[in-house]
Amino acid sequence: MQRLTGWKLLLLAMIVTAMVYSPGLSGSWLFDDYPNIVDNKSVQPADVSLASLVGAALSSPASDFKRPLASLSFATNYLASGLDPFWMKLTNLFIHLLNGLLVFLLARALLQADMTLKPAMQADSLLADSEHETPESRRAGVIAALIAASWLLLPINLTSVLYVVQRMESMLVAHRSFASFLLCVTSITLPTALGLTAKETAVMLPLYALLIEWVLFNFRTSPSGARDWRVIGLFLVVFVIPMALGTIWVLPGLLQPSAWATRDFTLGTRLLSEARIVADYVAWTLLPTSHALSFYHDDFQTSTGLLTPWTTLASMLFLAVLAASVLWLRLSRPLASIGIALFLGCHLLTGTVLPLELIYEHRNYFASFGLLLAIIPSLIPRRGLPISETKSQQLMRLTGSTLLIGLMLWWMLTTGTTAYAWGDSLRLARELATRAPNSPRAQYELGRTYIIYSRYDPGSPFTKLAYAPLERAASLPKSSILPQQALIFMNSRMHLPLKSMWWDSMIAKLESYKSGVQDESSLSALAECARAQDCDLPKNRMKDAFVAALSHPAPSARLLSIYGGYAWNVLGDRELGLRMTEAAVAESSNEPVYRESLTRMYISQGQIDQARQQISQLRQRNVMGRLDGVIESLEIQVKKTPATVN
């Protein structure tokens, strides 16, 4: 029974975690759930045919790499339970619990490996029983279970569970085996390749393995053995060389101003800001508050200099101390060294030079494990023989245990109250707007939720409530055109007057910066509403908005396609619609949806030769039959349409 102590604690932690998260399972979709799942018809297949599954796998708009494993999991959920967020969230919770098991196994393996490299303490040898596991081995299981329990309950990991689309993050599972060189090769390369199908951050797995190998084993097969040059060569091949080549490939593009055109920060200000953000992540992980974990962080003020604000330099010094501690603690406290190294390593990709959004809490899903590995073993010092343990040692042990219990209770309480808020869309919108009053996204989401609850009824009390947060969001710095679009959309659907200031503000924003994904989605929603004749939108204003968005260099294929569809279906300008759609295909030649639209336009115009050329191009991109239905439909239309003689 003693042998199962760690497993019992883990099972208890899983039960508690399920109970803590259960109120949040009844919540609705949020933010990026819509483009990736709700509005992505490809992850809502009608059958389980190979073509449907391949189409689902390659449908993600979140990345050029498509993240097929994550998209397939969404499609599987849809086939099993439809478009119900409850089952999607429940699946995420199951993955989270499974990851908790893996965290336990990883932590226990590291703790036991650390023990084998140290001489056993005299008290432990005296207490050891040859027929049962040693006290040190049992202690490793208990500490590993406490690390896993803490990780499962950390508030900063909540968005990886209840935010459905962040299944992409939670599906990344770290694995490392030291049994043999062949296992070493396999355990680094295969999980990395598999993880890349869920999210690109899986590319960091070789770095994590390298850090563990360096700190804990020093590339040796035994404490007194020689370095294994095969392992060193392996990391050279799977990490150092690819990292160098990747840097050479990516860096020139990052130095171009166009890479940052859709951001309100530059490469320099991003690096300065990320120092503060990564330092904040430490506090948000270990001592979280509701206002810190506000989900929306678009109100963050970027750093413009070392002392603007002064916390920039302070954060850089703090991170430098953390980095130095990896070296300082490597020999005396290797697990603390590994934990800090893993935390810092996790942010090398998302917290440095790539032009990603600055802050996301879910980026700490694995990084938080590193902090727990560094701290929790220190809070549970080894128990000596009762006869030899001093009062100071007893006090230290009591203090550490009390602190850990207090932290775990705080994490559980914070996660539980936040999960409760996530259980209802209106309750969540109000909670997040309160946590981040200066966040344009939080205020917009509150207004949008009021619109949903209003059911587009002008007499609904929710209709009146929607205006204040939307107009506040529109006036806040760094806001997109989402709030203006929502106001225009709402009033148009309800046949209420549209304020000129909403149009003027939206068009001015589109002129001032290159459109991002949110801006394109806003224009798409207005265009679709007009096409469906649900919104009576002034055509001259819509044209002005599109012209403003397209005034910047290298407009995206999506924006070109949206305007092409609007010109074709609403303005009745076939020439403009065709020209824009052709430009979209030229900009993104491998995206079949643009080519499909262009083909239908050609068929409508009787340009059959051009249509057949596009169908031929679609056949070349018909991976595993995913476009069979589209191609068949287009071919039927071609056969029914007489060619126009030019």
289-346 pLDDT, tens digit per residue, is 988 999 999 999 999 999 999 999 999 999 999 999 999 999 899 999 999 999 999 9
Helices (DSSP H) in 436-516: which residue ranges? Answer: 440-454, 461-475, 482-493, 500-512
pLDDT 10s digits, 39-61: 888 888 888 877 787 777 777 76
* Displacement of CA 295 from its chain's centroid (Å): 12
User: Tokens 């990883």 map to which residue?
Assistant: 106
Residue 114 predicted with pLDDT over 80? yes
Confidence band of 261 (pLDDT split at 50, 70, 90): confident
Confidence band of 180 (pLDDT split at 50, 70, 90): very low
Averaged pLDDT for residues 463-472: 96
Under DSSP, the state recorded for 308 is B
Averaged pLDDT for residues 546-570: 95
pLDDT of residue 566: 97
289-303 burial: b if 16+ Cβ within 10 Å, else e:
eeebbbbbbbbbebb
Contact 91, 70 (CB under 8 A): no
Spell out the domain ranges in the chain.
2-417, 425-640
pLDDT of residue 121: 39
Averaged pLDDT for residues 491-519: 94
pLDDT 10s digits, 15-44: 999 999 999 999 888 877 788 888 888 888
Confidence band of 178 (pLDDT split at 50, 70, 90): very low
Closest CA to 566 of 581, 557, 577: 577
Higher pLDDT, 50 or 106: 106
Residue 227 phi/psi, 5-degree rounding, is: -65, 140
pLDDT 10s digits, 120-140: 433 443 334 444 566 777 888
In angstroms, the CA 560 to CA 552 distance is 12
Residue 187 predicted with pLDDT over 80? no
Residue 411 predicted with pLDDT over 80? yes
pLDDT of residue 182: 52
Residue 195 predicted with pLDDT over 70? no
Report how far apart, in Å, the C-alpha atoms of 220 and of each of 207, 225, 231, 332 are: 17, 6, 9, 18
Residue 594 predicted with pLDDT over 90? yes
Higher pLDDT, 181 or 199: 199
pLDDT of residue 72: 84
Residue 190 predicted with pLDDT over 90? no
User: Tokens 């796998």 map to which residue?
Assistant: 57
Q: Work out the angle at residue 360's Cα, subtended by the Cα atoms of residues 354 and 361, and round it to the nearest 5 degrees.
A: 140
Closest CA to 29 of 428, 524, 414: 428
In angstroms, the CA 288 to CA 199 distance is 26
Residue 392 predicted with pLDDT over 60? yes
pLDDT of residue 133: 62
- In 3-state terms, what secondary structure has residue 121? coil
Report how far apart, in Å, the C-alpha atoms of 276 and of each of 72, 134, 577 are: 36, 44, 46
Closest CA to 303 of 265, 281, 273: 273
Q: Which of 417-431, 562-576, 622-636 has the lowest mean pLDDT?
A: 622-636
Q: What is the 3-state secondary structure (H, E, C) of 493-529?
A: HCCCCCCHHHHHHHHHHHHHCCCCHHHHHHHHHHHHH
Report how far apart, in Å, the C-alpha atoms of 189 and of each of 193, 333, 338 are: 6, 29, 21
Confidence band of 387 (pLDDT split at 50, 70, 90): low
Q: How many residues does the chain have?
A: 646
Tell me how crowded residue 128 is: count the other CB atoms within 10 A of its CB: 14
31-40 burial: b if 16+ Cβ within 10 Å, else e:
ebbebbbbeb
Query: Residues with Cβ < 8 Å from 478, sequence gap 6 or more?
Result: 264, 298, 299, 440
In angstroms, the CA 341 to CA 208 distance is 8
Q: What is the mean pLDDT of the chain?
A: 86
Averaged pLDDT for residues 614-637: 89
pLDDT of residue 327: 95
pLDDT of residue 124: 43
Residue 226 predicted with pLDDT over 90? no
Tell me the pTM: 0.85
Residue 62 predicted with pLDDT over 80? no
Alpha carbons within 13 angstroms on the beta-carbon side of residue 506 total: 30
Residue 305 phi/psi, 5-degree rounding, is: -165, 170
Percent of the chain beyond pLDDT 70?
Answer: 87
pLDDT of residue 320: 97
CATH top-level class of 425-640 = mainly alpha
pLDDT of residue 2: 45
Packing angle, helices 557-566 and 574-587, rounded to 10: 160
Q: Which of 92-96, 114-118, 251-255, 320-324 has the lowest mean pLDDT?
A: 114-118
Contact 337, 325 (CB under 8 A): yes
